[in-house]
């Protein structure tokens, strides 16, 4: 029996109805072809129609290229540039288009814009933002977003939105990080701005249970992810319980089926007590 499709909802004011789960294509980097082929089948099975990658995600863009040649019209395609200058970002954008084998993407995002000095460069004269605006004017992208993580990122995103009308933001959102008073306070302030302006909210790190520390790395993800289905269910359902949010999937193709399965079975948000029990052994990834 086919799985239940993941519901779709408006991606901000872009006019696109995106699946609530966005495929985080960093998971394709370094993956063998048989896993990549199975992943595409899974995305189709669950109705995933939105892909997020980045210039810095290893060979992710290269791995997506053959998909885009065949199925470009089935996906909202987003990539990112980590360059901060106009020239660097412009080169990055054109290189991404070549690697993805497309003439344009739907969304280009300023990647991990959290450092104040880097922010000044990217947003200033001959900064990366100018290259993204130019790309939009040239039809190389339709929309522009900004991403990041670490505790200050909700504050930095508010600063970014005060400077430029970004179409989307991307940042961590899980039960553990929202126990941090500073993060939670500024996150909710940011959400107020996003709701008022119709800005799409993409969330990451749903499965983060802490840093690896001295533990052996059993996943390609840079943080320690939940791997048991029961905990994945709670983590995914808690994020999806927030109306209007999107969940970017984990960077591990072996965990992807569990995340998709959890999302397909979503009915309600877990209670605070349920989350306290499920997250009892988890640690904050960002401090």
DSSP string for residues in the chain: -PPPPPPEEE-TTSS-EEESEEEEGGGGTT--HHHHHHHHHHHHHHT--EEE--TTSTTHHHHHHHHHHHHGGG-EEEEEE---BHHHHHHHHHHHHHHHT-S-EEEEEE-S---HHHHHHHHSTTBHHHHHHHHHHTTSEEEEEEE--STTHHHHHHHHHHHS--SEEEEE--TTGGGSHHHHHHHHHHHHHHHHHT-EEEEE-TTB----TTS---SSSSS-B--SHHHHHHHHHHHHTSTT-EEEPPS-TTTHHHHHHHHHT--SPPPHHHHHHHTTT---S--
- Chain Cα centroid distance, residue 59: 17
Q: Is the pTM of this model over 0.95?
A: yes
Does a structural domain hold residue 286? no
Distance CA 206, CA 24 (A): 12
Distance CA 128, CA 74 (A): 29
Does a structural domain hold residue 118? yes
Does a structural domain hold residue 285? no
Is the per-residue pLDDT at 286 higher than 90? yes
- The structure tokens listed for 201 are 């909210």
In this predicted structure, what is the pLDDT of residue 1?
72
Q: Are 114 and 250 in contact (CB under 8 A)?
A: no
CATH number for the domain including 48?
3.20.20.100
* Overall average pLDDT of the 43-68 stretch: 97
Per residue in 252-278, pLDDT (tens digit) is: 999 999 999 999 999 999 999 999 999
Does a structural domain hold residue 1? no
Is the per-residue pLDDT at 123 higher than 90? yes
Q: What is the domain count for the chain?
A: 1
Does a structural domain hold residue 122? yes
Confidence of residue 234 (pLDDT cuts 50, 70, 90): very high
In this predicted structure, what is the pLDDT of residue 100?
98
In this predicted structure, what is the pLDDT of residue 103?
98
In this predicted structure, what is the pLDDT of residue 215?
87
In this predicted structure, what is the pLDDT of residue 3?
85
Q: Are 109 and 78 in contact (CB under 8 A)?
A: yes
* Overall average pLDDT of the 126-135 stretch: 98
Range of the domain at 39: 8-278
Does a structural domain hold residue 240? yes
Does a structural domain hold residue 2? no
Gap between the terminal Cα atoms of the chain: 44
Does a structural domain hold residue 287? no
Cα separations in angstroms, 131 against 102, 125, 170 = 18, 11, 20
Per residue in 100-115, pLDDT (tens digit) is: 999 999 999 999 999 9
Q: What is the mean pLDDT of the chain?
A: 97
Per residue in 139-184, pLDDT (tens digit) is: 999 999 999 999 999 999 999 999 999 999 999 999 999 999 999 9
């Amino acid at each position: 029996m086919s799985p239940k499709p993941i519901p779709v909802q408006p991606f901000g004011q872009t006019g696109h109805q995106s699946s609530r789960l966005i495929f985080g294509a960093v998971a394709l980097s370094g993956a063998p072809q048989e896993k990549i082929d199975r992943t595409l089948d899974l995305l189709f099975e669950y109705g995933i129609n939105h892909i997020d990658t980045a210039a810095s995600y290893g060979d992710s863009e290269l791995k997506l290229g053959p998909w885009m040649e065949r199925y470009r019209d089935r996906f909202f395609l987003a990539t990112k540039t980590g360059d901060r200058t106009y020239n660097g970002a412009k080169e990055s954008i054109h290189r991404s288009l070549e690697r993805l084998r497309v003439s344009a993407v739907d969304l280009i995002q300023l990647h991990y814009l959290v450092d104040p000095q880097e922010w000044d460069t990217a947003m200033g004269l001959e900064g990366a933002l100018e290259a993204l605006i130019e790309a939009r004017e040239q039809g190389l992208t339709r929309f522009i977003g900004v991403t990041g993580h670490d505790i200050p990122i909700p504050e930095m995103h508010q600063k970014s939105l005060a400077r430029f009308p970004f179409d989307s933001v991307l940042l961590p959102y899980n039960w553990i990080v929202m126990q941090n008073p500073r993060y939670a306070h500024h996150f909710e302030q940011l959400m107020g701005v996003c709701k008022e302006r119709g800005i799409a909210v993409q969330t990451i790190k749903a499965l983060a249970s802490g840093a690896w520390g001295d533990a052996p790395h059993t996943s390609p993800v840079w943080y320690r992810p939940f791997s048991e289905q029961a905990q994945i269910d709670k983590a995914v359902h808690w994020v999806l319980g927030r109306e209007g949010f999107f969940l970017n999937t984990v960077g591990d193709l072996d965990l992807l089926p569990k995340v998709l399965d959890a999302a397909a079975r979503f009915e309600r948000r877990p209670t605070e007590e349920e989350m306290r029990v499920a997250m009892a052994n988890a640690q904050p990834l960002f401090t």
